[in-house]
Amino acid sequence: MLSDLKNHVDLSLLTIEPVIEKHVENRAKHLASKTFSYILEFVMYLLAIVSFIGIFLLISISPFYVLDEMANKREVLQAIGQADIETFTLAIRLMFALFTALFIIIGVLIRRNRVQKSSIYNSAQELRQIEDHLKSGSQDLSLIDENYSELKSVQEAAEV
């Protein structure tokens, strides 16, 4: 019975060890990855804020102030038309809004990835603890089995 239990524990160890080897990385690498993820997420949200502000300050931003000049010059208005200039300005504003949405989505995806990696890392740490308990249990079962065998042989020798 003890040998069956020990075989079951050893089989469990054989199942857990490859998973731990693949997923447990050293603590410094995990911390560096997590820090880089925080920084990248912050940068994405910062870019989203800048893009959102850019929608309202479009006329003040260096290359786009030309749009305001185009809308106020009679020669350009006659050549292109007021509606086309307004449509072009709206398209640029919508492009900034799209950038804002994309940066927010990328930031959320980075956060979700970081949380999943952290969960995997914590699970691997817990698996390592389970592995340690299984190894100590296997060693204990081996000692119990050996002591039981010795006790049984001593009892048999005493009966003869």
Token pair for residue 78?
């006659």
* Structure confidence by residue, pLDDT tens digits, 132-158: 777 777 676 676 767 767 777 777 777
Phi-psi region of 81 (alpha: psi -120 to 50; beta: other; left: phi over 0): left
With vertex at residue 119, the alpha carbon angle to CA 113 and CA 124, rounded to the nearest 5 degrees, is 125
The answer to whether position 131 is within a domain reads yes
Q: What is the arithmetic mean of pLDDT over 71-87?
A: 79
pLDDT at 48 over 70: yes
pTM, two decimals, is: 0.68
The answer to whether residue 85 sits within a structural domain is: yes
Report the distance separating Cα 45 and Cα 51, nearest Å: 10
Q: Which domain holds residue 124?
A: 29-150
- How much is the pLDDT for 24? 59
Number of domains in the chain: 1
Please check whether residue 66 lies inside any domain of the structure: yes
Report how far residue 153's alpha carbon sits from residue 64's, in angstroms, rounded to the nearest whole number: 94
Q: Which of 91, 122, 127, 94 is nearest to 12 (CA)?
A: 127
What kind and span of H or E run contains 32?
Answer: helix 27-56
State the maximum Cα–Cα separation within the chain, in Å, rounded to a whole number: 122
**Torsions phi, psi of 73, nearest 5?**
-95, 130
